[in-house]
């Protein structure tokens, strides 16, 4: 029985120290797996491979949820699945309206050009609103 398999059995039995022993043994392989997953993501993704490893690891060794690992390979297959689910959850969250879903990304230069082209209209609107406010105050007296 390998060290990884022995520690996985200890985690199954609820040993809280076992999870601490497992991470150093599997970290490099999990990091490689996460890097492979992240390579398929769009450029500009803010999630780092290290964070993906940590999130997946937390899900995998949650002592409150007894998980049964048949082997080292089973553990890594579950890790790959956990990483995939985390990435899918992030995409779904980003698509929600309250997280910017449906918004169009605009370069700063384009936005500034739009503002500059309408600058006179904005100033005229501001002056009109100021006059209306002033007339309203005068009328209230």
Q: What is the pLDDT along the chain (141 residues), one digit of tens a residue?
A: 578 888 888 877 878 788 788 888 889 999 999 988 888 877 766 788 889 999 998 888 775 666 777 788 888 999 999 999 998 898 888 777 776 777 777 788 887 777 777 778 878 888 999 999 888 888 887
CA distance 119 to 125: 10
Q: What is the pLDDT of residue 119?
A: 78
Q: Is 69 exposed, middle or buried (0-12, 13-18, 19+ CB in 10 A)?
A: buried
Q: What is the pLDDT of residue 138?
A: 87
82 & 54 share domain: yes
Q: What is the pLDDT of residue 64?
A: 66
Domain that holds residue 53: 3-99
93 & 115 share domain: no
129 & 112 share domain: yes
39 & 16 share domain: yes
> How many structural domains are present in the chain?
2
12 & 80 share domain: yes
63 & 119 share domain: no
CA angle, residues 91, 50, 97, in degrees to nearest 5: 20
What pTM value is reported for the model? 0.61
Q: What is the pLDDT of residue 132?
A: 92
Q: What is the pLDDT of residue 85?
A: 93
CA distance 66 to 60: 10
């Amino acid at each position: 029985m390998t060290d990884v398999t022995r520690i996985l059995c200890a985690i199954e039995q609820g040993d809280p120290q076992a999870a601490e022993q497992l991470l150093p043994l599997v970290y490099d392989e999990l990091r490689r797996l996460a890097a492979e997953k992240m390579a398929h993501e769009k450029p500009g993704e803010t999630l780092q491979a290290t964070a993906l490893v940590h999130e997946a690891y937390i899900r995998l060794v949650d002592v409150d949820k007894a998980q049964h690992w048949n082997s080292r390979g089973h553990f890594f297959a579950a890790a790959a699945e956990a990483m995939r689910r985390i990435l899918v959850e992030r995409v779904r969250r980003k698509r929600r309206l309250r997280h910017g879903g449906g918004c169009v990304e605009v370069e700063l230069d384009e936005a500034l050009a739009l503002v500059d082209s309408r600058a006179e209209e904005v100033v005229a609107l501001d002056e009109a609103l100021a006059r209306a406010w002033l007339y309203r105050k005068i009328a209230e007296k």
